[in-house]
Amino acid sequence: MIIQINTDKNITGSQELTASLTTLISEELSRFKDQITRLEVHLSDEDGNKKDGLNNMRCMLEARLENLQPIAVTEQSETPTKAVKGALKKLKSSIDSSIGRKKIY
């Protein structure tokens, strides 16, 4: 599984952030590692550098699955890490549903 992390101009895509998110994503999606060929993470700060906004960090995850259509989910939270965790929860549920449907047909 290839993991690509993209940030907007308001979020510093440091090596520490990239490493911690890559580890988190790899652990959370380990049971799907054979089905996911590529995972793109898009992090953005919805209100720029304003500090007073709640849930202003947005994470969009797009998973490319082998022999299935791509799945995209979004989550907003106070921090990039919390947004990624919320999006991962949604993504796991969506992948479970997609894989389950594929087995039925």
C-alpha to C-alpha distance for 19 and 96, rounded to whole angstroms:
26
**pTM tops 0.85, yes or no:** yes
pLDDT above 80 (res 43): yes
Q: Which fold has domain 2-104?
A: Double Stranded RNA Binding Domain (3.30.160)
Rounded alpha-carbon distances, angstroms, from residue 23 to 26, 56, 97, 103: 5, 23, 24, 29
Per-residue pLDDT tens digits for 57-93 = 999 999 999 888 999 999 999 989 999 999 999 999 9
C-alpha to C-alpha distance for 82 and 32, rounded to whole angstroms:
21
pLDDT at site 104? 46
Q: Which residues contact 45 (CB under 8 A, 6 or more apart)?
A: 8, 10, 11, 56, 57, 58
Tell me the percentage of the chain whose pLDDT exceeds 70. 88
State how far Cα 74 lies from the chain centre: 8
